Structure 1
Amino acid sequence: MDNVRTVSDTKRDFYQTHTRPINSLYRRVVEELMVEMHLLSVNADFTYNPVYALGVVSAFDRFMNGYRPEKDLESIFGALCRATGGDPEQYRRDAASIREAAAQLSQADLVAIASEGDSPVGENAFGQQMAQFARGDGLKYCRLLAIGVLAAVEAADAELLSRDKELAELLNQLGAKLKISDEKLRKDLELYRSNLEKMEQAQSVMTDILEAERKKRAERDAERKAKQEAEHAKQAAKADSETSESESSS
């Protein structure tokens, strides 16, 4: 029997692929997402699917918003996917496909998808995927799948996320269709949204701190430059005075 990969194996592969240090504010986000993806990758009941991919991409992009240096984001995401046995380009491609499909739906379509046995929206990829899940084909519930569903709902009707009662009703229907406990689904998504708010607050504080430090550096640089210019002017004036005295004495 092959040995099952451990979390340590996955972390080692990640840091061998992405070799630059990760900003301390975001390191916990990356490692928690890595562990979650790892545990799914070694679960025999789990099957990769586009809604899950949308969940991974959405969680990564939202939590990593504002990361600096920005150019490292592609490397971090790529290392995250590859270390857990995935292809980052496929994740991005599948996530975009589901998001675009969901964006073509109305709230009425979402309700129909949640309440019907089969997709009522023809060839729509999100509707077809949900119908497939409802038949028990390839569905292994996880928090990232729930995030993918929420991201699809947001793509269809972003304002629905601010209408708590309607959103709760829709999620309850979707949970029932997928045979997922509505309490589990609700708690996972409430925690996700709460953590996003906390991260956004932390990012805002960090931005303010960095901006204050930038201003202080600029002020110090300006003061240093002013002192240097004053010293140069003083030396120049002294040199002119000495030259004048020398000319007078001669």
Structure 2
Amino acid sequence: MNNAPVRTVSDAKRDFYSHHTRPINSIYRRVVDELMVEMHLLSVNADFIYDPIYALGIVTTFDRFMVGYEPERDKDSIFNGLCRSINSTPEHYRGEAEAVKASVNGMSLDDLKGQFENLGDGGDGLRGTLAAIAHREKFKYSRPFGIGLYTLVEAVAPAEALKEKADVETLFKDLAGKLNISPDKLQKDVELYRSNMEKFAQAQEVMKDMLAADRKKREDRKKAAEAEAETLVEPVAAAPEAGESGDSAE
């Protein structure tokens, strides 16, 4: 029996900042904090079992909501900190996420839906992962899992198939039923994710405009300062030396 104390959110945050030591850009801080807390709470939940679809949800959430982060080079360090804070690695998460996404390459939406059929027979690859989830007595559903599932659908579905809210709800209700998970939770998380992506894209456009305006102001101030410096230097350069005069004393 393992009597080790359960790690706390504070432990996870301490581990995170031991790996990523730079400040986090304010507009993205909430994304990082929420992801860190969510990953930690799931990692210490007795009913939670990691799977590649969950990993895809984590990677997708991070990559999409961190678009435009400056400095760009810090993104890898931040993701590394998130993974290390739950005693995992970014290589593990990204490797599993890329593998499960690659497994649907070349599939149509109907092909993907076919992976959810006859799960009682088990299987390998994606079908095996889905079968294990459907058969699990206490499957701990999570928001990242829902986002991972949506990412798989998004990878194979034509754009028009995901335009209408009613069509998306019908699709994910059917997939939830095949996996024996709550359709309401899955539909709610998918809709919230889609909505947040739209809002975040709008916020990023506003930020771009604000940053561009700020850069222009700085450039204008710099040009004005340089022009003022030039006007001060010119008279000094042209001033006669001491003792020189245009009139000669007789």
- With the length of structure 2 as denominator, give the TM-score of the two structures: 0.89
Which residue number corresponds to residue 64 of structure 1? 66
Once the two structures are TM-superposed, the CA of residue 138 in structure 1 deviates from its matched residue by 8.6
Which residue number corresponds to residue 196 of structure 1? 197
Which residue number corresponds to residue 144 of structure 1? 144
Which residue number corresponds to residue 76 of structure 2? 74
The root-mean-square deviation of aligned C-alpha atoms, in Å, is 2.4
Structure 2 residue 90 is matched with structure 1 residue 95? no
CA distance in 1, matches of 2:152, 2:62: 15
Structure 2 residue 194 is matched with structure 1 residue 186? no
Q: Which moved more, 1:126-135 or 1:88-97?
A: 126-135
Amino acid at match of 2:45: N
CA distance in 2, matches of 1:157, 1:103: 11
Once the two structures are TM-superposed, the CA of residue 220 in structure 1 deviates from its matched residue by 0.6
CA distance in 1, matches of 2:153, 2:120: 18
Which residue number corresponds to residue 34 of structure 2? 32
Other structure's SS at 1:102 match = coil
Amino acid at match of 2:148: G
Aligned residues: 246
Contact 2:115 2:126 in 1 (8 A): no
Provide the identity percentage.
49
Which residue number corresponds to residue 128 of structure 1? 128
Amino acid at match of 1:103: N
Contact 2:109 2:156 in 1 (8 A): yes
Amino acid at match of 1:142: S
Once the two structures are TM-superposed, the CA of residue 116 in structure 1 deviates from its matched residue by 3.5
Amino acid at match of 1:18: H
Distance 1:195 1:249, change over 3 A: same
Which residue number corresponds to residue 51 of structure 2? 49
Unpaired segments ≥5 residues, structure 2: none
Which residue number corresponds to residue 233 of structure 1? 234
Unpaired segments ≥5 residues, structure 1: none
Contact 1:41 1:85 in 2 (8 A): no
- With the length of structure 1 as denominator, give the TM-score of the two structures: 0.89
Amino acid at match of 2:214: E
CA distance in 2, matches of 1:100, 1:137: 28
CA distance in 2, matches of 1:166, 1:137: 29
CA distance in 2, matches of 1:100, 1:45: 28
Q: Which moved more, 1:3-12 or 1:110-119?
A: 110-119
CA distance in 1, matches of 2:227, 2:234: 10
CA distance in 1, matches of 2:46, 2:118: 29
